[in-house]
Amino acid sequence: MKRTLRQRLLVTLAATLVAAAFGLLAGYWIGRTIALRLTVRELGHDATGIIGESEMFARDAHAALDAMNASPYPYCSEEDMESLHNLLYHSHFLIEIGRIRDNKIACSTTLGRKHLPSTELPKPDSIGTDGVKVYRDIPFFRLPNVVVIALQMGDSYLVMFPYINSLREPIPANINIFRTARGQPPPPTGGSAQPSWQRLTRDGDFRIGNILYSTRCSSLSIDNICMTASLSVSEALQVKHRELKVFIVFGGLSGGLFGFLVALLYRRNRSLENQLRRAIRKDKLRMAYQPIVDLASGEIVGAEALARWTDEEGFAVGPDVFVKIAEERGFVGEITRLAVRHTLRDFAETLRAHAAFRISINVAAADLGDPRFLPMLEQSLDQAGVSAASVVIEITESSTALHLVAMEAIRHLRRLGHGVHIDDFGTGYSSLSYLHDLSVDAIKIDRSFTRAIGTEAVTVSILPQILAMAKTLHLQVIVEGIETSQQAAYFSGGAKSILGQGWLFGHPVPPEEFLRLLAASEQLRPQGSIEQAAIYIADGI
């Protein structure tokens, strides 16, 4: 089925858009994965920062407890209370310090010695390996919306904030912070949640449902806590929306580019060169044959074999295009071999039955220097049982630019019995001496000269000189591109018979159609004018 340029563009556009869509999805997936990983890393950074601050405060608290326990003053004496007040005053994180006796507060820098609670201290939340007891949220010192931590060592205690975030940037408002005791998870909540919550008491990054968690635990026994920073997936993607957009856009562009390149590679694979190679390999080229007539009698005396090709999209490609491609890419010899094989297959019987009939095959310049060409031609003729004289070899005038190669090849062809014609004569290199050296049998006058007949073009004045030169060298003349009776009459009055070829006598046709035309021409044998001959031939078609 034929495809128009618009259809091919639409196919390319569709492939690009589909690949771009997949690229967008891939970009979103990759961007989402990276955004979540970055978020977990930042959550871990926040938790690590808080743990670092907490450990710093724990060290300071431990040093304060050591100083309190090393006091030379009797516990809760005036001197002792003054030293405790002095210690609290110079601290940035302590909110209360005091002494304990019999598991009760004996004196306090904020409660004094008269307004002390009579109840005993609750059971500590945890006890470090160094004997430091940790209390969380003691009722005596509870503050609104703040969870405080109390540490006890010996008979001394102090109360502090768990962290004050003074050394780092503020944590984003949408990030939640959980504080748990390492190794001591909260009481069971039932269901399947307990194993997940136990992970909040050890280092690690994980995800529960739609929530991201990053837990960091203190390495100090005096600060036996873990910090967990958490954030929902949707909030994480909102925070990383710029990065996500970059990956989506990049994915879309990459996918689109990939699709476009794939389409181009596909098109390249379907390029004329590759299609032509496949057509040759699969024997998809066909041959058409255009009659060559004697302009004096109108009799068909031969035919030119012309290669024809329709590409994979149903478009007919002219030989001036695909033969040139094959010449430039170095495989024109394959077309020549195909032409010889097809022509002999189509006309072997006719050539054996009509000794005067000639079939012309075009040969490229590269074939003249190909050592495989002449053996191939001889072998093909032997297998078909056709004499070399029945097959004329046509070479373009530009092919003779390779003077020495052309001369040797032409001599060899003529020794074998082939007639050699110069095609498209007048468009390039030939001169009188040049033609003499080449020793060809005929020249084919290019159609550009034929079209000039009846006009004032400069090329018309050259025609008599070409005909005179051919007469001097005893060369047969074949005129290409004859489309009108006026053009045919111009060449038909000479003393030496001139052959003609063109639409006036017939278009290139398949072999079976040409053979019907040849049979009709032989039966009719027009003896009148060129006009009558053309009519007979047209009727035969």
> Tens of pLDDT along 426-481?
766 555 556 777 788 999 998 888 988 888 776 777 888 888 888 888 899 999 99
Given a contact cutoff of 8 angstroms between Cβ atoms, the answer to whether 309 and 338 are in contact is no
Q: Cβ atoms within 10 A of the Cβ of 307, count?
A: 21
pLDDT of residue 357: 95
Cα separations (Å) of 196 from 32, 186, 212?
Answer: 24, 11, 12
**In whole angstroms, what is the distance from residue 400 CA to residue 408 CA?**
11
Query: Six-digit token pair at 523?
Result: 């039966």
**In whole angstroms, what is the distance from residue 450 CA to residue 224 CA?**
106
**In whole angstroms, what is the distance from residue 5 CA to residue 284 CA?**
23
User: Residues near 532 by Cβ (< 8 Å), separated by ≥ 6?
Assistant: 298, 526
3-state secondary structure of 11: helix
Helix axes 511-524, 332-353, angle to 10 degrees: 30
CA 292 from centre of chain? 51
Given a contact cutoff of 8 angstroms between Cβ atoms, the answer to whether 299 and 525 are in contact is yes
pLDDT of residue 536: 45
Cα separations (Å) of 294 from 28, 451, 483, 522, 526?
Answer: 76, 19, 15, 13, 11
Given a contact cutoff of 8 angstroms between Cβ atoms, the answer to whether 45 and 172 are in contact is no
Whole-angstrom distance between the N-terminal and C-terminal Cα of the chain? 28
Task: Convert the pLDDT of each residue in 393-426 to its tens digit.
Answer: 998 766 655 567 778 888 899 999 999 998 888 7
Q: What is the mean pLDDT of the chain?
A: 80
- From the list 363, 420, 430, the residue with the least C-alpha distance to 400 is 430
pLDDT of residue 400: 56
**Run of H or E including 393:** strand 391-396
Q: Please, what are the domains in the chain?
A: 1-269 (no CATH), 272-540 (3.20.20.450)
Given a contact cutoff of 8 angstroms between Cβ atoms, the answer to whether 267 and 12 are in contact is yes
Q: Which residues of the chain fall short of a pLDDT of 50?
A: 1-3, 165-168, 173, 186-195, 269, 526-530, 532-533, 535-538, 540-541
Prediction pTM value: 0.54
Query: What Rg do the C-alpha atoms of the chain give, in angstroms?
Result: 51
E-strand ranges in 81-166 read 94-101, 104-108, 126-127, 133-136, 149-153, 156-160
